[in-house]
Amino acid sequence: FEDPRVHPVGIHHVFVNGKMAVKNQETTGILAGESVP
């Protein structure tokens, strides 16, 4: 990963710990997880 903060292309929805973190390719503001070092 060159820059883990860049939005992925082609991924429309992401759930983290059962909460929608990305909806229609936009972040929802929900911070349900943590980054892996």
The CA distance from 24 to 35, in Å, is 22
CA distance 8 to 31: 17
Amino acid 1: pLDDT: 63
Q: What is the pLDDT of residues 12-33, one digit of tens each?
A: 999 999 999 999 989 899 989 8
- pLDDT for position 24: 94
- Band of the pLDDT at 35, cuts 50, 70, 90? confident
Confidence category of residue 3, pLDDT binned at 50, 70, 90: confident
- Predicted pLDDT of residue 7: 77
The total number of residues written for the chain in this structure:
37
> How many helices (H) and strands (E) are present in the chain, helices listed first?
0, 3
